Amino acid sequence: MSGTSSQLPDVTQPMTVVPRLVSTNAQTLWFALQSKPWASLAVVPGGAGETALEVANTLYDAGALVCGGPMRLLDARDITLATSASFILNMTSLVAAPGERRSGGMQRVVVVLSSVLDQPTGVPVTLAVDAVVLTITLGQTRLDAVRRTLATVGAGRVLGWIQVDG
């Protein structure tokens, strides 16, 4: 097969994020997530049919402000089994690349996923990141859904949960 490329497609292009002011609450949330060292963090809805995009954006904004350098916000909400391996490979390459943060060290990556209850193809990404944060929507997220999500991603990998308004 001539002309075949051994290079994987880059499915980890950063999301376009509009810069915004970072609230004190967002900064507090960022520092709370520093209880365990991580370079890659998945933000996952605790229940089916929910979104974690706003929380991922907030963490990205706060992290970029606090770290003083490049962070990546990656969108894996529509990941498929066909794209998950190349996504994970590219994500880990980004994390391993030298960071340009003032504090030095590795670059950090925040990955936003769909609910693993809706889209189990995101599970390999949750297993490839260093840590996971769940979002819990007030008045919407059911306890049994949170338990299933924790069992699916591995409760020991979860740093905590973030409450969002429904």
At 143 the pLDDT is 94
pLDDT recorded at residue 61:
85
Query: How far apart are alpha carbons 96 and 159 in whole angstroms?
Result: 22
Instruction: Output the six-digit token pair for 140.
Output: 């919407």
Q: 61-71 pLDDT, tens per residue?
A: 888 877 766 68
Q: Which helix (H) or strand (E) holds 133?
A: strand 131-137
Q: Give domain status of residue 159, yes or no.
A: yes
Whether the predicted pLDDT of 98 surpasses 50: yes
What's the structural domain count of the chain? 1
Percent of the chain with pLDDT over 70: 77
Which domain CATH number covers 151? 3.40.50.300
pLDDT of res. 35: 80
Report yes or no on 67 lying in a domain. yes
Domain assignment of residue 20, yes or no: no
pLDDT digits (tens, 9 = 90+) for 135-155: 999 899 999 999 999 999 999
Whether 14 is in a domain gets the answer no
Residue 53 and residue 152: Cα distance in Å, rounded?
A: 20
Contact 80, 88 (CB under 8 A): no
Q: How confident is the model over 73-77, as a mean pLDDT? A: 96
Where does residue 104 fall: left (phi above 0), alpha (psi -120 to 50 degrees), or beta otherwise? Answer: left
Residue 76 lies in a domain: yes
Neighbours of 67 (CB within 10 A): 18
Residue for token pair 């769909």: 114
Residue-wise pLDDT for 3-43, tens only, equals 554 555 566 655 554 444 456 667 777 888 888 888 999 99
d(CA 20, CA 65): 10
121: amino acid identity, one letter: T
CA 5 – CA 37 distance, rounded (Å) = 36
pLDDT at 6: 54
| Residue 107 lies in domain | 37-164
In a domain, 26, yes or no: no
Higher per-residue confidence, 84 vs 5: 84
On whether residue 28 sits in a domain, the answer given is no
Q: Is residue 4 part of a domain?
A: no
- For residue 152, report the phi and psi dihedrals to the nearest 5 degrees: -75, -45
In this prediction, residue 68 carries a pLDDT of 64
- Whether 1 shows a pLDDT value over 50: the answer reads no
